[in-house]
């Protein structure tokens, strides 16, 4: 692509057959199916663990300081296992116990994230900033697209280039270099990208001088990452606002950090309760991180309660149609979109929703349609005409959140819904089946025959 300078010897002849043969999650997950019987109204209390999208970046942040780091409230999910492998590849030693993680970072990490890991988890790209800062070089496979569409990374690279890094593409691998130390810069993002904000932040903490991220993402997970970096000795202002200012320091030290609660797990259980017409309380969460999503559930006719560290959602017999558009925080989260559409599929009335973050997020709509949902998609909009009933059938989970949404739809459908490719759900939810069952869902997991 025009973005990179290709070295003279670059050609396509060097294939990496052994690496390319690994499909997504091939190494980890046996194929499995989640089987749901529709009907029961969920009730009870469920606690959530730490947020995937904070834990992954906080694991990467450990690369910034040699020594022994400790993270707690880490969810036991596939993506965390994958990030352990990314860190191990750089020479880190990792030990785990329940929801805790210890990472021992070497004095000289191996600055590389290979294709077989990056392909399975795009979030690996945030190692670029810390590896450049620590090692002056980073070799990271170009992630390419994924289940949610093209997902380019040019804003990550532009930001790091402004700080003195240069990149070239060598046989599908991005090779970044910096002469000496990264230099602070004013990086203005064209869009408040979560990953680009994090990469520049993780590079800026060890850069020379001040880095300003203008139009930074304001997600709570980034604020939590900033808190973590702060305990490591970083000097950062403006977390949770659109202007983050970082005063680079010479070195950081290992720290202890507790990952903030997963708002997406909390929101997913709330919608599960709502669609079943049940009454679910979620604890160990911050309802303030789900303001827009809870407002929309109220508009849909749910009774919503919130307090310090908990939220409660009681679903109506039949939800009402609502409109929403996904936006960066504090807007409606794109990762709550498919779950909410499952609810609106059985609402009275017609909902109009707009997806502003991903071009391929609607891939699950065809699966919901097999269950009887009446949804028309046009570009980034979907018109959802609520139907009286869904009927269970075999469907496939296309990604983490859509997978959860199909299971949720199954809670309301007549008969049995079988959600195949369920390993997608394991990437982001710890024991999703067990937790739904604890609320009274008739749900179980079946490992597919080889």
Q: Which stretch binds ligand EPU (CB under 6 A): 52-60, 316-324, 367-375, 436-444?
A: 52-60
CB 35 within 8 A of CB 416: yes
Q: 353: closest CA among 376, 321, 382, 318?
A: 382
Within residues 390-409, the interface with ligand EPU by CB under 6 A covers: 400-401
Beta carbon nearer to ligand EPU, 368 or 390: 368
Q: Which stretch binds ligand EPU (CB under 6 A): 38-46, 51-59, 165-173, 314-322?
A: 51-59
Number of residues that bind ligand EPU (CB under 6 A): 22
Residue nearest to ligand EPU (CB): 195
DSSP secondary structure string for all residues of 163-230: TTEEEEEETTEEEEEESSS-B--EEE-SS--HHHHHHHHHHHTTSBSEEEEET----HHHHHHHHHHH
164: left (phi over 0), alpha (psi -120 to 50) or beta: left
Binding status of residue 56 toward ligand EPU by CB under 6 A: yes
Which of 146, 158, 323, 431 is flagged as catalytic?
A: 146
Backbone dihedral angles phi then psi of residue 198, each to the nearest 5 degrees: -70, -40
Within residues 77-96, the interface with ligand EPU by CB under 6 A covers: none
* Contacts with 44 (C-beta within 8 Å, 6 or more apart), sequence order: 280, 281, 438, 439, 440
Within residues 410-429, the interface with ligand EPU by CB under 6 A covers: 428
Of the residues 332, 358, 364, 432, which one makes contact with ligand EPU according to CB under 6 A:
358
Minimum separation from the CB atom of position 24 to ligand EPU (A) = 14
Helix (H, G, I), strand (E, B) or coil at 301: coil
Minimum separation from the CB atom of position 425 to ligand EPU (A) = 10
Q: Which stretch binds ligand EPU (CB under 6 A): 68-76, 145-153, 222-230, 311-319?
A: 145-153
Catalytic site includes residue 146: yes
Within residues 108-127, the interface with ligand EPU by CB under 6 A covers: 123
Minimum separation from the CB atom of position 214 to ligand EPU (A) = 15
CA dist 414 and 393 (Å) reads: 9
Neighbours of 346 (CB within 10 A): 22
Binding mask 163-202 for ligand EPU (x = CB under 6 A): ----------------------------x-xxxx------
Binding status of residue 362 toward ligand EPU by CB under 6 A: no
| Burial call 43-69: b when 16+ CB within 10 Å, e when fewer | eeebbbbbbbbbbbbbbbbbbbbbeeb
CA dist 406 and 191 (Å) reads: 30
Question: Bridge-partner residues for 36, per DSSP?
Answer: 417, 443
Tokens at 4, concatenated: 């990179």
Query: What Cα–Cα distance (Å) separates residue 340 from each residue in 7, 20, 213, 337?
Result: 47, 35, 32, 5
Minimum separation from the CB atom of position 155 to ligand EPU (A) = 3
Beta carbon nearer to ligand EPU, 151 or 385: 151
Binding status of residue 229 toward ligand EPU by CB under 6 A: no
Tokens at 87, concatenated: 């860190």
Beta carbon nearer to ligand EPU, 336 or 347: 336
Binding status of residue 151 toward ligand EPU by CB under 6 A: yes
Of the residues 48, 59, 252, 357, which one makes contact with ligand EPU according to CB under 6 A:
357
Q: Which residue has the tokens 């993270």?
A: 71
Binding status of residue 152 toward ligand EPU by CB under 6 A: yes
Backbone dihedral angles phi then psi of residue 368, each to the nearest 5 degrees: -65, -35
Footprint on this chain of ligand EPU (rule: CB under 6 A) = 52-53, 56, 123, 151-156, 191, 193-196, 334-335, 357-358, 400-401, 428
Positions marked catalytic: 146
């Amino acid at each position: 692509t025009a973005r990179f300078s290709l070295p003279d010897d670059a050609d396509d002849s060097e294939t990496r057959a052994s690496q390319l043969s690994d499909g997504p999650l091939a190494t980890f997950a046996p194929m499995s199916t989640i089987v749901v019987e529709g009907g029961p109204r969920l009730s009870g209390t469920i606690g959530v663990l730490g947020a995937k999208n904070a834990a992954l970046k906080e694991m990467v942040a450990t690369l910034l300081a040699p020594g022994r780091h400790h993270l707690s409230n880490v969810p036991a999910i596939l993506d965390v296992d994958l990030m352990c492998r990314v860190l191990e590849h750089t020479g880190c030693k990792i030990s785990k116990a329940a929801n805790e993680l210890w990472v021992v970072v070497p004095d000289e990490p191996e600055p590389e994230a290979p294709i077989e890991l990056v392909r399975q988890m795009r979030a690996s790209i945030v190692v670029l900033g810390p590896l450049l800062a620590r090692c002056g070089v980073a070799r990271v496979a170009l992630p390419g697209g994924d289940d949610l569409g093209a997902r380019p990374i040019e804003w990550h690279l532009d930001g790091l280039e402004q700080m003195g890094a240069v990149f070239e593409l060598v046989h599908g691998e991005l090779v970044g270099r910096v002469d000496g130390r990264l230099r602070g810069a004013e990086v203005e993002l064209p869009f408040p990208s979560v990953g680009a904000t994090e990469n520049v932040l993780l590079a800026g903490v060890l850069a020379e001088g001040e880095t300003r991220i203008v139009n930074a993402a304001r997600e709570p997970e980034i604020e939590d990452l900033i808190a973590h970096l702060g305990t490591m000795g970083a000097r950062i202002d403006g977390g949770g606002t659109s202007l983050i200012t970082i005063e680079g320091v010479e070195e950081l030290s290992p720290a202890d950090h507790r990952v903030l609660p997963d708002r997406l797990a909390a929101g997913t259980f709330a919608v599960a309760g709502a669609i079943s017409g049940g009454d679910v309380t979620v604890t160990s969460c911050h309802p303030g991180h789900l303001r827009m999503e809870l407002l929309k559930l109220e508009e849909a006719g749910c009774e919503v309660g919130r307090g310090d560290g908990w939220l409660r959602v009681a679903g109506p017999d039949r939800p009402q149609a609502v409109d929403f558009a996904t936006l960066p925080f504090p807007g409606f989260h794109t990762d709550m979109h498919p779950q909410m559409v499952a609810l609106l599929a059985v609402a009275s009335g017609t909902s109009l929703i707009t997806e502003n973050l991903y071009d391929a997020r609607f891939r699950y709509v065809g699966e919901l349609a097999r269950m009887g949902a009446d949804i028309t998609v046009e570009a980034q909009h979907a018109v959802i005409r609520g139907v009286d009933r869904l009927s269970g059938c075999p469907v496939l989970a296309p990604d983490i959140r859509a997978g959860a949404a199909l299971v949720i739809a199954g809670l309301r459908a007549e008969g049995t819904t079988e959600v195949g490719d369920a390993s997608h759900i394991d990437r982001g939810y710890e024991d999703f089946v067990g937790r739904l069952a604890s609320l009274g869902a008739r749900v179980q997991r079946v490992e597919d025959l080889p």
